[in-house]
Structure 1
């Protein structure tokens, strides 16, 4: 009993002495904790979350014991508290942390700040009030106090930070090799409090500096639409950008496992059995997928408005929803996202986390035309982390690595099929003339043969072949529906993802420079693609392959 009493008295004394610090800590940690508690649809136990929490606590301990004058320390930390306020606002309103994604958008779209403040001023005011109370009371409690300082604890905390960051960097180097990409990946994943804000700012500046010429050119470029056909009926376009999804493992394309049950039975689906990407990696493929320019004209892809900006200029209300994180591997993708009027990110969540926001957008459509661009994680490695446990339908036939990987990959495709089914059902319910376009950025190698290749970036029949289709609602006029029926004739023809933007301009009745009828799947001038692609740093115009359908034995 005496021991318990002594411990109680000790805890009481610590609380009495440290309450201002604990109050300030609670505010700094609030974005991380609110996100952790509120995100019920987050991925399976994410070690990165615990890593971030541990690093945050180590930073706070180090700052606590670096000086006895904590009042001065926290005055110096004012910019970090302001960053935490913005972070908390984003978590409460958008479910996302303050990452390079939002910093990049703010840096390149600062002119929209006025409209943003008008829309969210109530929420901003509440967060600022909470900040003022916590920060004001905390500083008042620290003023004039000399707290216990311990160099040993400070040194231990700093040493633990070196070990923590070092361990993650070692893991990154193993995956990406030693170099700039490994450093940027470490920085991108650092969302700790409070110093992680410096990491995100640094990453944003790195991305901005590397592409500032393109950014300037993109911002200054104009979409020159010459005409919009009065016969165009498209009211809602949903463009889903998949990730690492190859047709070999979709039952829609003949795979033996029923991985796409919703799409298999859906009417209005026009599939492309022989579609290939323009590059076996995301940062090149996605910009190409959303550009009218051919892959060999990369400078123009990077410096001119994408399909997002084109639809915005054509009078569509544009949205960008993404479950992908923006990091050093995103390249100019954040700039394309910034062309949309509304953007929202759902980091470290299953793809299904964006459904509620998608439903709101569809329901608010009214008479306004909509173009919704959705960038999902799909089947990105690690495959087992891309779907909830209830979608673990397929089990490995043996204990081999190949069978385990294939089962996990198949389950990720099953989850993507469920997501696409939900998106299509919402479009049906809206009774608007709608199209849903799905195309993966690239495919994936799954230890398919004696080469034992896993992942993408190789440039072969597995990571250049992509799953792709177009779905149309059943309420189009007869002439427009007959026009869409031409897509059936393209089912077996070889096509590139770069054909999709030209095809969509035709469907939308948009005429503008850059449109190429030979790339348009609805045009009689269409020419089958030989699937040129970017591999490493060179343009390879003559690469060709036979699309293979393989089954996991």
Structure 2
């Protein structure tokens, strides 16, 4: 009786997202579909009951149910509150999120949900006086329960196959929404990938060297800054046609090339950052493949560049393990762009002009932004950038209007506009004063949902993710000296801004624009290659 009751509670209490999608997948709520709904509900209850029966032993069943109720309550809260789904990438996000990011997701609503759906039912289970039959009879009863449950589930699926088969086939997201099976499936997928990662890193691009365009440099150094944005979606950049003026400074930057049709490799930092700095491409990318080989920064090191990663986020996800690393995310005395809890992205530029001046080598510098990371968007920018409002000032997004959430998010883009414009100004000054050729490439790791389709934040499985989480900004700026050195036709590049590109192009574009020769370079994926003279 306990396992049957617990199974019913699991199907009913934690699966609002699943049932909403299921109702929609089967043609919407209508009386004619009642047998399908009842049959699907019964099949899930019986299936859960069969599984729980396998662990229905003294000293085992109560801890198992407690873990299930607590885990399912957390999963249910995030799925219902933010419209997310639970897959291996989401588990990776949880594992790799630092404590400051995790703190932003805490709320009274989460505590209430976990208390009501996790703690209270767990306490009730522990208070139940369970009676277990003798071992032989108990095993017989368990076997009978499992067999009867499986037979009943099979019969129900056969009866409802005509309706369920197309619904499940066309709506694969259902498997990410069914709690608690999604938690086990996602955890298994994450651990499988994690354990498969080899300890030895395979070299990549060891043959990398400078091309012929370096010969006429006359000793001038190069400095290339790659800005890895965070949670910036292309739709909210006025450079891409957004109604609000969120990019006034970039709009006034001469020579800036803005690519308007760019898609990300993933919908979360833990996927997109390792992917974009690898040569795998989205379709061949897996976490274990990326972790088992060197990436773009290693190839640049092989070619003789001094590579630096500056981070104002939660780390580089293994991408920068073999290059210089600076963490500027933690507030220290004398850091004006920093508050009590975190640093704003201008901190990424602190001391950078002097570092460029003092260096004697060609530099590639990666700036990893905090960007527009939610849900506490209002913390991502200084008060002076609160141009749009009123803004949502809580992580409990359900308490805010969608307009206030969007306003806070747009202010983060307005601040990113300043950071990128300051980066260009810094590089322009370095070019003029230090006799170096400079460039900047910016892209965001993924986008963000701001209430469209009742979804918030990011991290949806790519196959079901909305365009808002996949369409990202990307732009390129080069000094006159940089363009002349590498013979890049600015007008030709400007004519390509509407063409479809993706994170797959970044690896090869960086190598191409810096004239790095290596067997792993693919000119077909280099955005700049068609616009380079004397190829």
TM score, norm. by length of structure 2: 0.56
Does the C-alpha gap of structure 1 residues 184 and 294 become closer, same or farther in structure 2, counting only changes over 3 Å? Answer: closer
| Offset from partner CA, 1:243-276 (integer Å, 9 cap, x none) | 1111211111122211111110001111101011
Deviates most, 222-231 or 517-526: 517-526
For 2:309 and 2:358, the matched residues in 1 are separated by 16
SS of residue matched to 1:503: helix
Match in the other structure for 1:362 = 356
SS of residue matched to 2:299: helix
Does the C-alpha gap of structure 1 residues 475 and 517 become closer, same or farther in structure 2, counting only changes over 3 Å? Answer: closer
Structure-to-structure mapping, 1:7-406, within 5 angstroms: 174-175=77-78, 184=95, 188=99, 211=194, 214=197, 216-218=199-201, 220-232=202-214, 235-298=222-285, 299-326=288-315, 333-347=316-330, 348-365=342-359, 367-381=360-374, 382-396=376-390, 401-406=401-406
Structure-to-structure mapping, 1:425-464, within 5 angstroms: 425-431=425-431, 432-448=436-452, 451-458=453-460, 459-464=465-470
**How big is the shift at 1:362?**
2.1
Does the C-alpha gap of structure 1 residues 257 and 511 become closer, same or farther in structure 2, counting only changes over 3 Å? Answer: same
SS of residue matched to 1:231: helix
**How big is the shift at 1:387?**
0.6
Unpaired runs of 5+ residues, structure 1, are 1-166, 193-206, 327-332, 527-553
For 1:466 and 1:363, the matched residues in 2 are separated by 32
Kept after mapping to 1: 8 A contact 2:269/2:446: yes
Matched residues, number: 336
| Offset from partner CA, 1:188-209 (integer Å, 9 cap, x none) | 45999xxxxxxxxxxxxxx999
Unpaired runs of 5+ residues, structure 2, are 1-69, 80-84, 104-189, 331-341, 393-398
Match in the other structure for 2:181 = none
**How big is the shift at 1:184?**
4.1
For 1:499 and 1:182, the matched residues in 2 are separated by 24
Kept after mapping to 1: 8 A contact 2:229/2:371: yes
Does the C-alpha gap of structure 1 residues 185 and 173 become closer, same or farther in structure 2, counting only changes over 3 Å? Answer: farther
Q: Do structure 1's residue 468 and structure 2's residue 474 form an aligned pair?
A: yes
**How big is the shift at 1:170?**
8.6
Kept after mapping to 1: 8 A contact 2:273/2:317: no
| Offset from partner CA, 1:119-156 (integer Å, 9 cap, x none) | xxxxxxxxxxxxxxxxxxxxxxxxxxxxxxxxxxxxxx
For 1:287 and 1:215, the matched residues in 2 are separated by 16
Kept after mapping to 2: 8 A contact 1:325/1:345: no
For 1:209 and 1:345, the matched residues in 2 are separated by 33
Kept after mapping to 2: 8 A contact 1:172/1:185: no
Kept after mapping to 2: 8 A contact 1:443/1:465: yes
**How big is the shift at 1:402?**
1.0
**How big is the shift at 1:345?**
4.0
**How big is the shift at 1:183?**
7.5
Computed over aligned residues only, the root mean square deviation of the Cα atoms, in angstroms, reads: 3.5
For 2:441 and 2:101, the matched residues in 1 are separated by 34
Structure-to-structure mapping, 1:500-539, within 5 angstroms: 500-524=506-530
SS of residue matched to 1:416: helix
| Offset from partner CA, 1:59-81 (integer Å, 9 cap, x none) | xxxxxxxxxxxxxxxxxxxxxxx
**How big is the shift at 1:217?**
3.1
For 1:280 and 1:502, the matched residues in 2 are separated by 21
**How big is the shift at 1:475?**
2.4
Does the C-alpha gap of structure 1 residues 411 and 474 become closer, same or farther in structure 2, counting only changes over 3 Å? Answer: same
For 2:320 and 2:93, the matched residues in 1 are separated by 24
| Offset from partner CA, 1:404-436 (integer Å, 9 cap, x none) | 011101100011111111111111111121110
Match in the other structure for 1:496 = 502
SS of residue matched to 1:442: coil
